[in-house]
Chain A
Amino acid sequence: DAKTTQPNSMESNEEEPVHLPCNHSTISGTDYIHWYRQLPSQGPEYVIHGLTSNVNNRMASLAIAEDRKSSTLILHRATLRDAAVYYCILRDDNTDKLIFGTGTRLQVFP
C-alpha cells in the first residue's frame, strides 16, 4: 500500500506563505496525490490534487517533485481560516479508497 509521511504540526503567521511537505516514496506511476484538509469539528474538504505537473487552484498550489516521491502544498497567504489538519493522501490499491494518515496540524497566528 502506498503511504505518506507528513510532519505532525506546523505554524505560520497570518499573511505569510506556508509550505506543507509530504513524502510518498512508494507511490506508483499512476497514482494521483490528493490533499484534503479538515477544519475543527467538520468533515474533510478537498484542497487540490495532481499527478505529475504542478497544479494551481483558488485555494492552493501543489508542487510535485520530478521523481514524484514527494510533494508540497503551498498556501500563498495563510489566513486564520486556514488553521486545520492537512492530509496528503494516496489511493489504496486494494480498496481504491483514499488512505488518511494523521496529517499535519497547521496553526496560524495573527
Chain B
Amino acid sequence: NAGVTQTPKFQVLKTGQSMTLQCAQDMNHEYMSWYRQDPGMGLRLIHYSVGAGITDQGEVPNGYNVSRSTTEDFPLRLLSAAPSQTSVYFCASSYGSTYSGNTIYFGEGSWLTVV
C-alpha cells in the first residue's frame, strides 16, 4: 500500500514557467487537498476536493489550478511560476470529512524552488 505519492520530490523552475505537481493515492479516499509550507510556518491550504469532479479553493489559491478527473489523482498546476511560490508542497487525502474525525494521510512533500 503506497499511500499518498507525490512527484517530483524536487524541482527548480524559472520565473514564468509552468509545471504540474502530481499526487496519487491508492486508498480510495474521496477527500484530497494540497497544502504549502513556507520555512518556519505551518501548512496553508491551497485547493481541495471532496470527490471526483469537485474542487474548491482554500486559503491561498492564487496562482494555482487543480482538477480531479479520477478518485486517485489530484494534480496541482502552477500557471506562471513566481519566486513567492518557492515552498514545500504537500498533498493529502482522507476517507471522509475531518468533521467525523477521519485521519488525513500526507505525501512526503515536493520541494519547489522558483528562481
Residues of A within 8 A of B (CB): 30-32, 34, 36, 41-46, 49, 51, 87, 91-92, 95-103
Contacts and interface: CB of A to CB of B under 8 A. Distances in A.
Given A44-B106, A96-B50, A97-B58, 7 more contacts: A32-B101, A34-B101, A41-B109, A44-B43, A45-B106, A91-B99, A100-B42
A95 to B, nearest CB: 6
Nearest to A103: B42
Contacts of B2: none
Contacts of A41: 109
A96 B40 contact: no
Contacts of B90: 43-44
A36 B37 CA distance: 15
Contact of B48 (A91, A95, A100): A95
Contacts of B97: 96
A49 B43 CA distance: 18
Given A44-B90, A100-B35, A95 B45 contact: yes
Interface of B: 4, 33, 35, 40-45, 48, 50, 56, 58-59, 90, 92, 97-99, 101, 103-109
Nearest to B103: A46
Contact of A42 (B4, B41, B98, B108): B108
Contact of B101 (A42, A51, A92, A95): A51
Nearest to A41: B109
Nearest to B96: A96
14 contacts: A32-B98, A32-B99, A43-B90, A43-B107, A43-B109, A44-B43, A44-B106, A49-B101, A92-B45, A95-B59, A96-B99, A98-B98, A100-B35, A102-B40
Nearest to A50: B101
Contacts of A91: 98-99
A87 B103 contact: no
Instruction: Name the residue among B35, B43, B104 with the largest chain A CB count within 10 angstroms.
Output: B43
B109 A34 contact: no
A96 B108 contact: no
